[in-house]
Amino acid sequence: MRSKVVVVLILLVSSTFECVASDRLTLKDGDVLSGELLEITEGVAVFRTTLAGRTIVSLDELRSISTDSPFRIEFSDGSTSTGFLASRKGKPVLISQNGLLERAIVLSSVTGAVQVKDGESSSLKPGVGVGLWWKSQDSDNFVPYGQLTLQRERDKYGMRSRLFWTFDQDDGLPTVLQAGSEWRLGGTDGLHSRFEFGVERDSELALDLRANLALSLGKRFWEDGSQYFEGDAGFDVALERFDADDLDFVLRGEERRVDNEELSLKLGMRYRRKLFLNTVFSEDFSLYPGVSNTGSLRARSESELLFPLASSLNLELDLTVDFDNEREFRRLNNWQTSIGAGLRWNF
């Protein structure tokens, strides 16, 4: 009883500093303690708040723990894992350092946890990938590609950024360039906002530049330790410029250069599942029905399979399908399929 009173007093003192504190302990009675998790040892969490200082809370009193830094965790069965402690629908989970895997855990099974030092890990997870890429628009050739990724997943926000390009084997210039970033603001337990922006170029589709900005509301509808499904809905604004100079056919009665401004709905879904041997499958699908140009429709499906080869090295297989019912130039196919295979290093 006395320890409970102490915890409640600390909660009251530390609530003023909740916005700047990075880690959180959620008690079974619903109270939240914000500050810094120092360690877990012998069935207790050692915690520090700004004013109250160091305190000890029994794991039996906790519903979940959320950390902003990775921890090396030991379990009662002798196994160890490294990652971020988080809460999903009020249940404790462990997120891998690369942000790709989640699994449910039982706090009472944790026998020890220490924070990973800055030199051992970074909360931002960069990745580098190289491989070969094939497109149905240019079915004769496999071209080399490169990509850079940056990812961070937390309870209150998340971020994913990607830069992808393919090279022309003749002049070495990129024929396809995709750069974008996606931000989630708010926890996945309820409704959250999403902010996306990107630029894209594809000379084989005469797309000289597409710049877009999307705002939407999203929700994670269900998840367990090995998979989750979430969706979002909002609006997308795109500025497009098409230039037919790089096309290998002659236009008849069509403008060679076209500029568009388009407002569309943005409907998206994301599914991720952990398969055998830590293989991860993910599917991202986006649908853009036209608002300013009623009747227009764009869609993109991106499937990815990651096979772990070593602790940071993965074999990556990709399948991307694009659809546009109103291509700027009539001889271009409405459908385009791309297949990629390569290696990705997640640091």
Domain ranges for the chain, please list them.
Answer: 2-115, 125-346
Among 8, 60, 59, CA closest to 37: 59
User: What phi and psi values does residue 292 have, to the nearest 5 degrees?
Assistant: -70, -30
| Predicted local confidence at residue 160, as pLDDT | 92
Q: What is the pLDDT of residue 2?
A: 42
Does an H or E element contain 12, and which?
helix 2-14
Residue 64 is predicted with a pLDDT of 92
- pTM exceeding the 0.85 threshold for the entire prediction: no
Distances in Å between the Cα of 68 and the Cα atoms of 150, 224, 278, 307 are: 16, 21, 24, 27
Distance from C-alpha of 109 to C-alpha of 138, rounded to nearest angstrom: 54
Question: What's residue 171's pLDDT?
Answer: 59
Q: Please give the pLDDT value at position 77.
A: 85
Quote the pLDDT of residue 322: 95
Architecture of domain 125-346: Beta Barrel (2.40)
**d(Cα 117, Cα 19) in Å, to the nearest integer?**
24
pLDDT of residue 324: 94
With a cut of 70, which residues of the chain have pLDDT below it? Answer: 1-21, 98-100, 118-123, 137-140, 155, 168-173, 225, 246-255
Measured CA to CA, the distance from residue 229 to residue 223 in angstroms comes to: 6
Q: Are 77 and 109 in contact (CB under 8 A)?
A: yes
Alpha-carbon distance values, 74 to 106, 108, 222, 234 (Å): 12, 11, 28, 42
With H, G, I as helix, E, B as strand and everything else as coil, classify residue 37: strand
Give 296-322 pLDDT, tens digit per residue.
999 999 999 999 998 789 999 999 999
**Helix H or strand E segment including 120:** none
